[in-house]
């Protein structure tokens, strides 16, 4: 018997295994969907926050006008110092019509000419441009390009490049937390299933004991069914046959109930035969229980003693 066949038999034979795996898959599916929704929502929220911050920054310069920026490059460059400590802002570049960087967060870039590829987005855009792309290292970045006008003509472009690596890091941390929560819920679910099924197994065992006790007064012999062995031995044998404990106990209840039903039918048939014989006899035949209470009174007794059955039953 190969491993697949064994697992298949184990799956079919154990309701506990099916419940545990089913609950685990349900929890994983629900938490997976929740993680996907959270990933999407959080990613959109963080990106939107970065975009709003970048646009607010670029539009502030746009409100100053291209000429004001071009004529105050020294002061603009001085103001860049406050952004050196912000790791999310990778670059702030002021680019003229010849694609030369006139001012930058990184002073060594001043005087550098940008090719169309270096722009990372369409160069010298005539409108405000917001783009989410990846840099040469595959890191997610946000590029904002704002044209600055002077008398209706574009004089300077301000280009801001934001790193979105923290977005990815925060999302990964959130997914990690969700994974740990999912694992904890799966473990708790499996333990809960185990406890619940153990309680059910105890109920089944009590039912079996009471049923088999009920068979004893009916002349039941332990050798009459396959559950004559000790409960622990029967359970071990069932587990060796890849049968779950609950399935085994349910089978025991079913078989014991069948025996009880059979014995009850035999007793009822025996009682009916006795009553038939007793009612047809001319002699008085009276039955009483251990306490001496009359439980049957035939027609012969009515004739001899003169009392009807309804007058003496229970006396």
Residue that wins the pLDDT comparison between 235 and 72: 72
- Residue 239's pLDDT is 43
- Tell me which DSSP letter residue 100 carries: B
Whole-angstrom distance, CA of residue 302 vs CA of residue 312 = 10
19-34: pLDDT as tens digits: 677 777 787 787 778 7
pLDDT at residue number 245: 59
Of 2-16, 66-80, 199-213, highest mean pLDDT: 66-80
Each residue of 233-271: pLDDT tens digit? 454 454 444 445 556 666 766 777 777 777 777 778 877
State residue 212's pLDDT score. 65
Does 203 have pLDDT greater than 80?
no
9 Cβ contact list (under 8 Å, min separation 6)? 242
Q: How large is the average pLDDT for residues 63-70?
A: 76
Q: How far is CA 188 from the centre of its chain?
A: 11
Give the other-Cβ count within 10 Å of 14's Cβ: 21
Does residue 134 sit in helix, strand or coil? strand
CB contact at 8 A, 244 and 15? yes
Q: What is the pLDDT of residue 242?
A: 44
At 283, phi and psi to the nearest 5? -75, 160
State the average pLDDT for the chain: 77
């Amino acid at each position: 018997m190969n491993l697949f066949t064994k697992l298949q038999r184990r799956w079919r034979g154990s309701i506990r295994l099916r419940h545990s795996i089913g609950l685990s898959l349900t929890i994983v599916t629900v938490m997976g969907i929740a993680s996907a929704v959270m990933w999407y929502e959080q990613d959109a929220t963080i990106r939107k926050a970065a975009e709003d911050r970048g646009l607010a920054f670029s539009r502030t310069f746009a409100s100053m006008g291209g000429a004001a920026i071009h004529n105050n490059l020294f002061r603009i460059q001085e103001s860049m110092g406050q952004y050196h400590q912000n790791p999310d802002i990778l670059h702030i570049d002021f680019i003229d019509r010849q694609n030369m960087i006139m001012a930058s967060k990184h002073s060594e870039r001043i005087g550098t000419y940008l090719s169309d590829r270096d722009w990372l987005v369409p160069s010298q855009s005539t409108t405000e441009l917001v783009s989410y792309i990846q840099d040469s290292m595959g890191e997610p970045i946000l590029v904002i390009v704002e044209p600055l006008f002077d008398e209706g003509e574009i004089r300077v472009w301000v280009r801001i490049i934001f790193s979105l690596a923290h977005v990815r890091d925060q999302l990964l941390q959130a997914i990690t937390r969700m994974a740990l929560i999912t694992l904890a819920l799966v473990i708790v679910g499996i333990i809960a299933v185990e406890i619940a099924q153990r309680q059910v197994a105890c109920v089944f065992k009590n039912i079996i004991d009471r049923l088999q006790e009920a068979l004893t007064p009916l002349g039941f012999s332990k050798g009459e069914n396959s559950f004559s062995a000790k409960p622990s031995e029967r359970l071990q044998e069932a587990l060796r046959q890849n049968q779950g404990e609950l399935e085994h106990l349910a089978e025991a209840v079913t078989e014991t109930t069948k025996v009880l039903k059979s014995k009850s039918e035999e007793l009822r048939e025996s009682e009916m035969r006795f009553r038939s014989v007793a009612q047809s006899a001319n002699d008085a035949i009276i039955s009483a229980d251990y306490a001496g209470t009359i439980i049957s009174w035939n027609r012969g007794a009515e004739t001899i003693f003169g009392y009807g059955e309804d007058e003496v039953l229970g006396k």
